[in-house]
């Protein structure tokens, strides 16, 4: 009896003395539900990440574009305000003689062909370079030869310190009543050499000599068409890259048609240049009290936006499909040296 019960107990009880039960697990339905829920959570997290990443990329690209646009406007505006500064004289035909090529007047612009970007060029005297004459000078000495023709011998210009000048520099010599702008060919000691044979003025000891800065701005959209840049050339040196993402530069000049010092209309540079195309009369630019610069900026990265973007620039609506954001920056700058001399 006891033996039978022991056998029955061993049958109902496991060998370890515990009640037997099936191993725990998941059914196929439970696994599929868990997998679907996991995919939904992962997909949601991925969408949030992609949305945040796209938003951050767009914000960063836009911020860079805005910063570059403001910087470009400020740099060009600053040089425009100083254009045609000759210290105590102005760019007036009556008292300042320009012995430079036509394109090297105090302010000059070339219109880009068929809507291409314009170029802008400005000259200004630098106050920090001023030196004075140490002797009376007659810039061009006429030597009487017999028989003619007579010999013209440009006279060297003795100054207090010529260390800040070098061959090829543009200078202005003035005594606040008249002035001459020309290029020097060399420096010998404290003497400035030149070959300006049509400089005819005489200047007394103490008259001032200043070095002139020649600055040019243009858009380089050929070297790297996918990333056009704003370039600058100073005093004929190699072009330097200033800012990227500058797609276009357009310059219009306010023309004063009734001599009241206020612009009556804005026109391109060729309209201003037309009356004085031979370069002998810089007075045509004295009708220009203001300049309006317009820069078209774009994000450096493409595919910032998935939809085509339409924008208005220079009077034309354009639809871009490259995914870049664009914005126009415009500023009207007073050419303060035009009427204040």
Domain positions in the chain: 57-334
Residue 76 and residue 148: Cα distance in Å, rounded? 50
Say which residues have a Cβ less than 8 Å from residue 87's Cβ, sequence separation at least 6.
Answer: 125, 127, 130, 172, 174, 176, 208, 210
Instruction: Give the pTM.
Output: 0.78
269 φ, ψ to 5°? -60, -30
Q: Which two tokens stand for residue 296?
A: 């078209």
CA distance 109 to 117: 11
SS3 at position 219: strand
**pLDDT bucket at 22, cuts 50 / 70 / 90:** low
Q: Which two tokens stand for residue 128?
A: 């920090």
- What residues contact residue 95 under an 8 Å CB cut-off, 6+ apart? 89, 177, 178, 179
Q: Calculate the CA 253 to chain-centre distance.
A: 18
Query: What CA–CA distances, in Å, run from 84 to 177, 180, 290, 331, 341?
Result: 16, 13, 13, 19, 10
| In contact, 213 and 234? CB cutoff 8 Å | yes
H-type alpha helices, the chain: 2-12, 28-82, 269-273
The string over 260-278, giving b where at least 16 C-beta atoms fall within 10 Å of a residue's C-beta and e elsewhere, is eeebeebebbeebbeebee
Which of 6-15, 167-176, 183-192 shows the lowest per-residue confidence on average (mean pLDDT)?
A: 6-15
β-strands 96-98, 179-188: how paired? Answer: parallel
Q: What percent of the chain has pLDDT over 70?
A: 85
Q: What is the pLDDT of residue 105?
A: 74
Q: Taking the CA of residue 265 as centre, how many other CA atoms within 13 Å lie in the half-sphere pointing to its CB? A: 7
12 has pLDDT over 60: no
Task: Report whether 221 contacts 247 (CB < 8 A).
Answer: yes
Q: Report the pLDDT averaged over residues 324-341.
A: 83
Per the prediction, the chain carries an average pLDDT of 84
**In this predicted structure, what is the pLDDT of residue 274?**
74
Q: Determine the Cα–Cα distance for residues 98 and 90; give it in Å rounded to an integer.
A: 11
> Each residue of 39-85: pLDDT tens digit?
888 887 778 766 666 676 778 888 899 999 999 999 999 999 999 88
| Straight-line distance from the first to the last Cα atom of the chain, in angstroms, rounded to the nearest whole number | 134
DSSP 8-state code for residue 235: T
Which pLDDT score is estimated for 330? Answer: 95
108: buried, middle or exposed (CB in 10 Å: 19+, 13-18, 0-12)? buried
Burial (Cβ within 10 Å: 0-12, 13-18, ≥19) of residue 251:
buried
**pLDDT score for 206:** 96
State the average pLDDT over residues 241-252: 95
Query: Rounded to 5 degrees, what are φ and ψ at 183?
Result: -105, 140
> Residue 11 above 50 pLDDT?
no
H-type alpha helices, 89-243: none
Residue with tokens 């068929």: 114
In this model, does residue 282 exceed pLDDT 80?
A: no
- Neighbour count for residue 292 (Cβ, 10 Å): 15
Token couple for 57: 């990329």
């Amino acid at each position: 009896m006891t033996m039978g019960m022991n056998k029955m107990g061993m049958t109902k009880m496991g060998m370890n003395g515990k009640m037997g039960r099936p191993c725990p697990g998941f059914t196929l339905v439970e696994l599929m539900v868990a997998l679907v829920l996991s995919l939904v959570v992962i997909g949601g997290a991925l969408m949030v990440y992609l949305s945040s990443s796209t938003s951050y990329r767009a914000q960063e690209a836009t911020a860079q574009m805005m910063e570059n646009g403001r910087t470009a406007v400020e740099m060009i505006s600053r040089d425009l305000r100083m254009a045609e500064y000759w210290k105590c004289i102005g760019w007036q035909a009556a008292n300042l003689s320009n012995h430079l090529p036509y394109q090297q007047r105090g302010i000059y612009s070339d219109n880009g062909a068929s809507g291409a970007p314009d170029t802008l060029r400005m000259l200004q005297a630098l106050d920090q370079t001023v030196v004075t004459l140490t002797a009376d000078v007659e810039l061009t000495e006429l030597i009487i030869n017999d028989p003619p023709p007579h010999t013209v011998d440009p006279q060297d210009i003795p100054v207090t310190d010529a260390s800040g000048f070098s061959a090829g520099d543009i200078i202005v010599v003035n005594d606040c009543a008249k002035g001459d702008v020309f290029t020097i060919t060399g420096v010998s000691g404290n003497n400035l050499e030149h070959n300006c044979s049509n400089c005819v003025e005489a200047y007394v000891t103490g008259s001032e000599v200043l070095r002139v800065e020649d600055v040019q701005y243009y858009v380089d959209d050929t070297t790297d068409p996918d990333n056009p840049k704003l370039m600058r050339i100073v005093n004929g040196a190699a072009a330097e890259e200033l800012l990227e993402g500058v797609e276009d530069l357009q310059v219009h000049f306010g023309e004063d048609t009734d001599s009241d010092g206020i612009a009556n209309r804005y026109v391109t540079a060729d309209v201003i240049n037309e009356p004085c195309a031979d370069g002998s009369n810089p007075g045509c630019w004295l009708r220009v009290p203001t300049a309006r610069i317009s820069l078209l900026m774009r994000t450096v990265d493409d595919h910032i936006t998935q939809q085509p973007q339409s924008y208005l620039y220079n009077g034309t609506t354009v639809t871009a499909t490259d995914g870049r954001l664009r914005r126009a920056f415009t500023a009207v700058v007073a050419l303060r040296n035009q009427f204040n001399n």
